């Protein structure tokens, strides 16, 4: 059967003739019967081309912080593009957006780019150029985009393949990565300060950067334990390593100033994307003056034909104003808290073991265990199949989280109290599938 209605099925068959597997990103492929074709979105809702309406908690993997087709953002973009979209010169909009980011995120300098992958790629190069070192540390399960260097031991590789905690194995997520790349990558378990310290002490002279997702937004929103981000900060200071906070998911979402503000830890470089544009393609590399000024024309490259284009910058300019002036985060937090607590109660009442993770703006939960996981390894003790079963039932009922437990539930400003109530009602209904 699957999730596809009649029109969706036909349209998807058409897509498969010209687009590999009918999708423009592998993460959107849910198999031949469940991959959807979407007609439009408005506020907290999306409609597939069969006209089925869903409350959207995937929000395009996080970017839609305000709501789909948010009128003030659409209007600003429409007005701005009347005057052209790209000039290979600086525009006033770029300056405005950079000023707003510096103010909101308390960073010294910003370079704009187009996607999370571009931002993390440039951040890694800046860190290498800044330190003159070539290796970097990342954490198991974390996703930093499609650059070869980052695609090892993220949440898509079989957990049985990544070796022991004391001697982790770097496992590539994909074919097509040159063998030599692995030499530059050190993957360590998240939240393990002792293991991190030992690695840094032994190899600091080779390590350019420690890149960290401050909340594991690609593993169900596992939280950093108290002191973990602070320990990274301290090690980076002590050993001259560049700290890169990958805030592609957390930026502008968990607080105005993102994870730096939320956790009170300042990074050397920060990468932003998703919520900065509410669905328009814009991203940023930001950070401290000294590190950002490693970028030097003719010496240390950062570039891109579309960087700072009018479409993305106009959207970001509108988004940043709304985040600054409206109760976006307090509204999202109120609704997210309600969902987390009531969903937890419903599961408890049904006698289903569960643990919630993350923050109200991007939360996750695992079934089958009652303690929140602290890293990729403990996360896999949860019953991920049971989660998928539950999520697929919810999707059938018009509530759309990702079926993959690793993707958090994302909330937008347009989500109403009624939507929350409807979600809870359907949630209660769907957990019946776990009892049978």
Residue from 35, 117, 153, 374 in contact with ligand PMP (CB under 6 A)? 117
Which residue is nearest to ligand PMP, using beta carbons?
116
Q: Which lies closer to ligand PMP via its Cβ, residue 116 or residue 224?
A: 116
Q: Is 181 helix (H, G, I), strand (E, B) or coil?
A: helix
Beta strand extents in 108-204 (DSSP E only): 109-113, 135-139, 185-188
Q: Is 419 annotated in the active site?
A: no
Q: Is 404 annotated in the active site?
A: no
Q: Which stretch binds ligand PMP (CB under 6 A): 46-54, 69-77, 115-123, 395-403?
A: 115-123
Host H or E run for residue 32: none
Going by the DSSP 8-state scheme, the letter that residue 128 receives in this structure is H
Q: Which lies closer to ligand PMP via its Cβ, residue 215 or residue 367?
A: 215
Residues 207-236 that bind ligand PMP (CB under 6 A): 213, 217-218
Joined together, the tokens standing for residue 197 give 């310290």
Catalytic residue, chosen from 12, 45, 70, 143, is 143
Q: Does the footprint of ligand PMP cover residue 246 (CB under 6 A)?
A: yes
Residues 254-313 that bind ligand PMP (CB under 6 A): 273
Catalytic residue, chosen from 9, 76, 100, 274, is 274
Catalytic residue, chosen from 246, 268, 375, 402, is 246
In 3D space, the residue among 220, 149, 159 whose CA is nearest the CA of residue 189 turns out to be 159
Residue from 52, 125, 133, 249 in contact with ligand PMP (CB under 6 A)? 249
Handedness of CA 52, 53, 58, 61 (dihedral sign): positive
Q: How many helices (H) and strands (E) does the chain have?
A: 15, 14
Residues 134-153 that bind ligand PMP (CB under 6 A): 143-145
Annotate each residue in 70-109 with x if it binds ligand PMP (CB under 6 A) or - if it does not, as one string: ----------------------------------------
DSSP 215-270: SBTTTTTBPPPTTHHHHHHHHHHHHTPEEEEE-TTTTTTSSTTHHHHHHT---SEE
Taking the C-alpha atoms of residue 371 and residue 220, their distance in angstroms, rounded to an integer, is 13
Binding site for ligand PMP (CB under 6 A): 61, 115-117, 120, 143-145, 213, 217-218, 246, 248-249, 273
């Amino acid at each position: 059967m699957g999730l596809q209605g009649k029109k969706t099925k036909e349209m998807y068959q058409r897509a498969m003739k010209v687009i590999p597997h009918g999708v423009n990103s592998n993460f959107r492929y849910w198999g031949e019967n469940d991959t959807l074709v979407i007609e439009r979105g408005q506020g907290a809702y999306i409609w597939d081309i069969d006209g089925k309406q869903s409350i959207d908690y995937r929000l395009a993997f996080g970017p839609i912080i305000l709501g789909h087709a948010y009128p003030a953002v659409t209007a600003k973009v429409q007005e701005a593009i009347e005057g052209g979209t790209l000039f290979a010169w600086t525009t006033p909009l770029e300056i405005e957006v950079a000023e707003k980011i510096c103010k909101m995120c308390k960073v010294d300098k910003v370079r704009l780019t187009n996607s999370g992958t571009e931002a993390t790629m440039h951040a890694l190069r800046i860190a290498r150029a800044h330190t003159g070192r070539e290796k970097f540390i990342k954490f198991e399960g974390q996703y930093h985009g499609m650059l070869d260097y980052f695609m090892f031991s993220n949440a898509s590789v079989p957990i049985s393949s990544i070796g022991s905690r004391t001697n982790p194995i770097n496992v590539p997520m994909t074919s097509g990565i040159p063998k030599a790349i692995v030499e530059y990558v050190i993957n360590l378990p998240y939240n393990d300060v002792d293991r991190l310290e030992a690695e840094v002490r032994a190899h600091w002279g080779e390590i350019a950067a420690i890149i960290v997702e401050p909340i594991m937004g690609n593993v169900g929103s596992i939280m950093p334990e108290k002191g973990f981000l602070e320990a990274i900060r301290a090690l980076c200071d002590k050993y001259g390593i560049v700290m890169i906070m990958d805030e592609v998911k957390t930026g502008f979402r968990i607080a105005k100033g993102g994870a730096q503000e939320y956790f009170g830890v300042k990074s050397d470089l920060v990468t932003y994307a998703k919520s900065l544009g509410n669905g328009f393609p814009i991203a940023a590399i930001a950070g401290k003056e000294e590190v950002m000024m490693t970028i030097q024309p003719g010496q240390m490259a950062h570039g891109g034909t579309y960087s700072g284009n009018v479409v993305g910058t106009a959207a970001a300019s509108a988004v940043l104003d709304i985040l600054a002036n409206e109760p976006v985060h307090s509204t999202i937090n109120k609704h997210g808290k309600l969902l987390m607590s009531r969903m937890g109660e419903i599961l408890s009442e049904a006698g289903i073991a569960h643990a919630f993770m993350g923050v109200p703006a991007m939360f996750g939960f695992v079934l089958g265990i009652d303690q929140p996981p602290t890293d990729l390894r403990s996360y896999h003790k949860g019953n991920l199949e049971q989660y998928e079963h539950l999520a697929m039932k919810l999707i059938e009922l018009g509530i759309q989280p990702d079926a993959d437990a690793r993707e958090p539930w994302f909330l937008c400003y347009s989500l109403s109290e009624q939507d929350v109530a409807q979600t809870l009602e359907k949630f209660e209904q769907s957990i019946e599938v776990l009892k049978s």
